A and B are shown apart, each in its own frame.
Chain A
Amino acid sequence: GAGVSQSPRYKVAKRGQDVALRCDPISGHVSLFWYQQALGQGPEFLTYFQNEAQLDKSGLPSDRFFAERPEGSVSTLKIQRTQQEDSAVYLCASSPYGPNTEAFFGQGTRLTVV
């Protein structure tokens, strides 16, 4: 596609519910990033994939957060047993990898836990 696509755009979950957020990166992009943007804050790094390999998950806030990219393209961020503090916009970005490249961001998924 022309850009990074995320779905759903909005998700309301009851506390304790599991959610899955999808990211379709730009075709051919090797690198994929997930970020969390809480209200009034800058995006915070969650995790990084290079193709299907998850090389950095240092930003995942707890073991309730899990991400995968099994075929090196589409990625899913899963949050188990959601809590109110998980409410945020979740951003996905992809890039071609290599020097002089930049990350392209999707519109994000706004998750509200009630």
Chain B
Amino acid sequence: AQSVTQLDSQVPVFEEAPVELRCNYSSSVSVYLFWYVQYPNQGLQLLLKYLSGSTLVESINGFEAEFNKSQTSFHLRKPSVHISDTAEYFCAVSETGGYQKVTFGTGTKLQVIP
């Protein structure tokens, strides 16, 4: 069975400062990894994903995450955050075989302070 750990439930950060949201996963087989974002009162949106190939993946709004197999991590980073990045971020994992059920972490609330 797979699992995801997001150790930080809330991360406050000042505007234009860098941020890292941590994610570690556990699985006995190879995985796909995802970060989803949920803005207040909205649905889940896929932010970025690792399926195969380059271990560094980027989103269109400046976030990036790196798949580190040896450390079983997929931390999300942004060098300079904006107020509009305030949201809850969910790390998720699915196994590459079978029907790829997605398992989510408990989420990290990013609060950007002006």
Contacts and interface: CB of A to CB of B under 8 A. Distances in A.
B97 to A, nearest CB: 8
Contacts of B94: 103
Contacts of B34: 102
A106 interface: yes
Contact of A45 (B32, B49, B101, B106): B101
Contacts of A91: 43-44
A96 to B, nearest CB: 10
Nearest to B43: A107
A61 B36 CA distance: 24
A100 B51 contact: yes
B17 interface: no
Contact of A42 (B45, B49, B100, B106): B106
Interface string B27-66: 0000010101000001111100101100000000000000
Interface residues of B, number: 23
B32 A102 contact: yes
Interface in B87-114: 90, 94, 96, 99-107
A97 B98 CA distance: 9
Interface string A32-44: 0101000011111
Contact of B99 (A55, A102, A106, A107): A55
Kindly name the residue among B51, B99, B105, B107 whose own CB sees the greatest number of chain A CB atoms within 10 A. Answer: B99
Interface of B: 32, 34, 36, 42-46, 49, 51-52, 90, 94, 96, 99-107
Return the 3 tightest CB-CB contacts between A and B, nearest first.
A107-B43, A42-B104, A105-B44
Given A43-B104, A107-B43, 17 more contacts: A31-B100, A33-B101, A41-B106, A42-B90, A42-B106, A44-B104, A45-B103, A91-B44, A99-B96, A102-B46, A102-B49, A103-B102, A104-B46, A105-B43, A105-B44, A106-B43, A108-B44
